[in-house]
Structure 1
Amino acid sequence: MTARILQNPWRLLLAINAIVIVGVFVHKIQLPPYVPYIHLIVDYHFGFIKRALIGAIVALFTAKVPVKVPVWLVFALGGATWLATSALYARLFQKTFGFTAKTLPLFVFIAGSPFFLKNFMHMLGHFVIYGCALAIILLLMPAGSLLFVAAAALFSIILVLIHHIHLLMYVPTIITIVVVRHYLTYGSNRSNVAFGAVAVLIISALFFAAQFLGTMPIPEADFVAYLKSRMADPSRTDLLQFAYIWYQPLAKEIADTWGRLPRNILGVPVFALLIWLHSPLWRYLASLIGALASATHRRLVVAAMVGISLAYVVMFAMVFDYSRWISNWAVCMFLILHAVKMLPAKQEAALIPAEDQRTNLFGLMLTLIPRVGIVRPF
């Protein structure tokens, strides 16, 4: 029996991943939710500002009743979002590949990746998971009409209002999903191309408005006083230490990033190692692209992946949360894999082998890595 498990360990690795996720959750709820909590109490009380949509939604349920925003709400909302995203991805995998013994290694490499659900658990309450969840919904939705393009535009607007950096983080992946599932599958004409172009312009304009016009219009002391009025425990001033980000200009963010670069760049070899451990998955993605029936589709998919990667390079130059960016870049590649699988193919690509020793070793190593982190590796 032991030999059989070592030869085909994927069910065991799936169970270990579940245990690791529970461990990450137990660790996470013991940490102070500095950035996630303040995002729940910042709203549009003083006019349009960046990073305020989630807080504005929370305010709808707390403004007219004597209820303040408790710290536990970070974990409740974050946990619910994580569970919903996990369920959506399970449904997407079932729709795209199905759950069989042959597809189990692929599922473990994606769902058990330290870049994906485990790292989202470590970032419980942060905004990045919303981009992933909405992109998965687009991969599950019918894509034959302009309603699909409109839904993608609405999702992108929501993401930019949650945090404007989503324009670089998940909007390019959403655009790719729209192109693959709507324009390449059902064809393009003047009306749907014009609709998509206008949507991109509106989303871009909203990004620039949030980036350059979305700073808090009142003194920081008054802003902090307002935030305290929304807190269940105003004595927790430590949770307000990041209030400055609603005042910080882009130039200061870039200067901080480049100032930290010599130290943060030391994590690049670790990121490279983690990416290399996913090599069976990348080979499968390359095989899927190579198996596409249309050479035009192959070129467009590769161009889209390059564009998504370049957007993350821009983020690397602007904001120093490197572990978070590299993790979400990998998640975007996972989602593109599903989109590519939905295109017409001339042949079936060979799945990740279930009984290859090197592949099994890589799967085990990825399973045992609990997370990647937010700024620096681990």
Structure 2
Amino acid sequence: MLKPVLQNPWRVLLAINAAVVAGVFIHKILLPPYVPYIHLLVDYHFGFIKRALIGAIVALFTDKVPVWLVFAISGAAWLVTLMLFLRLFQRTFGFSEKTLPLFVLIAGSPYFLKNFMHTLGHFDIYGCVFALMLLLMPASSLLFVAAAALFSIILVLIHHIHLLMYVPTIITIVVIRHYLAHGVTRTNVAFGLVALLCVSALFFAAQFLGTVPIPEADFVAYLKSRMADPSRTSLLQFSYIWYQPLSKEVSDTRAWLPHNILGLPVFALLLWLHTPLWRYFANLIAALANEMHRRLIVAALIGISLAYLIMFAMVFDYSRWMSNWAVCIFLILHAVKVLPASREVPPIPAEDKRTNIFGLVLTLIPRVGIVRPF
């Protein structure tokens, strides 16, 4: 009985990952949801302001926001992410013994579902949800481009940093699934450019015109009036982020840089542990039948990475940015797999000892974190 497990331990690693996710969830619900909770309180009561869409939707259903709603909403978003990913993986690769290492390396990565569980209530996961939906939707008409534009607008209204976090990945998915697969015309190019212009304009409006137009004390008083338990004033300590200009965010990031940069070796180690996955992705790109497709994919990966470098310079939640960058790469991998290839790429070997060790280590890492690693 033990010999088959040692030869192909990926089923065991999958079960361990499920247990780790449960442990991360238990740990998460015991922590005060400082930033996630206040986002449920902020709405458009004072006019158009940044980071207010989710709170505005919540305000349609309740005047008083309980703390447990953070975990109910974010937990539902996590489950939707899981279901969409399972459907996408099944459609792209299928579930079998041969694809099990690839599935475990992605689904069990500390960058992905486990870190989304650790960051319950934060806005990152919504970008992943919309990208997964676009990878599953029919892409033959302009309705697909319109849906991508609508999703991007929603993401920017949730938090304008999504313009750098997930909108570049959404653009890449649209290019791969619509423009490369169904051709480029003046109509669809013009439609895409107009959509991109609208999303960009909304970003600048949120960034520079989305400040709350009243004194912070009055703003906090309004948020307190929406709390189910107004005595928990510690949950309002991050109200300043609706007043903080971009220059202050950049200066804070620079101030924390000497301390936070110490995590770079850990980030490098985590990237190295994903080597079998990166090698498989590189082989998929190399196997593409069209040279232009290969160049566009490489250019898109560089563009997505540059967007994250800009985020690194602006806001110091480095562990979150690193994790979401990896998630974007996982999503693009699925998009690339459906492009025409000149040869079949062999799956990640299930019997390779080094790959098995990498899989075990990644399985045992519960999450990456928010600011600093772990």
After TM superposition, is the score higher than 0.5?
Answer: yes
Taking the aligned partners of 1:345 and 1:217, their CA distance within structure 2 comes to 54
Cα deviation, residue 215, structure 1: 0.6
When normalised by structure 2's length, the TM-score is 1.00
What are the Cα deviations for residues 147-202 of structure 1, in whole angstroms up to 9, with x where unaligned?
00000000000000000000000000000000000000000100000000000000
What are the Cα deviations for residues 4-61 of structure 1, in whole angstroms up to 9, with x where unaligned?
2122100000000000000000000000000000000100000000000000000000
Q: Name the Cα RMSD after superposition.
A: 0.5
Matches within 5 A, 1:111-122: 111-122=107-118
Taking the aligned partners of 1:155 and 1:81, their CA distance within structure 2 comes to 15
The match for 1:199 among 195, 216, 241 is 195
2:343 counterpart of 1:347: yes
The 3-state SS of whatever aligns with 1:343 is coil
Name the aligned partner's letter for residue 132 of structure 2: I
Query: Match for residue 53 of structure 2?
Result: 53
Taking the aligned partners of 1:97 and 1:306, their CA distance within structure 2 comes to 25
The match for 2:326 among 318, 324, 330 is 330
Taking the aligned partners of 1:156 and 1:78, their CA distance within structure 2 comes to 19
Where in structure 1 do 4 or more consecutive aligned residues deviate above 3 Å? Answer: none
Query: Match for residue 25 of structure 1?
Result: 25
2:14 counterpart of 1:14: yes
Query: Match for residue 265 of structure 1?
Result: 261
Taking the aligned partners of 2:351 and 2:211, their CA distance within structure 1 comes to 55
Query: Match for residue 5 of structure 2?
Result: 5
Taking the aligned partners of 1:220 and 1:348, their CA distance within structure 2 comes to 59
The match for 2:248 among 237, 247, 252 is 252
Taking the aligned partners of 1:317 and 1:188, their CA distance within structure 2 comes to 35
When normalised by structure 1's length, the TM-score is 0.99
Cα deviation, residue 3, structure 1: 2.8
Matches within 5 A, 1:105-184: 105-184=101-180
Gaps of 5+ in 2: none
The match for 1:302 among 268, 283, 298 is 298
Taking the aligned partners of 2:16 and 2:31, their CA distance within structure 1 comes to 23
Matches within 5 A, 1:56-135: 56-63=56-63, 68-135=64-131
Taking the aligned partners of 1:4 and 1:368, their CA distance within structure 2 comes to 21
Taking the aligned partners of 1:89 and 1:220, their CA distance within structure 2 comes to 41
Cα deviation, residue 62, structure 1: 1.2
What are the Cα deviations for residues 332-373 of structure 1, in whole angstroms up to 9, with x where unaligned?
000000000011111111111010000000000000000000
Taking the aligned partners of 1:217 and 1:6, their CA distance within structure 2 comes to 62
Name the aligned partner's letter for residue 289 of structure 1: I
The 3-state SS of whatever aligns with 1:61 is coil
Taking the aligned partners of 1:160 and 1:7, their CA distance within structure 2 comes to 47
2:239 counterpart of 1:243: yes
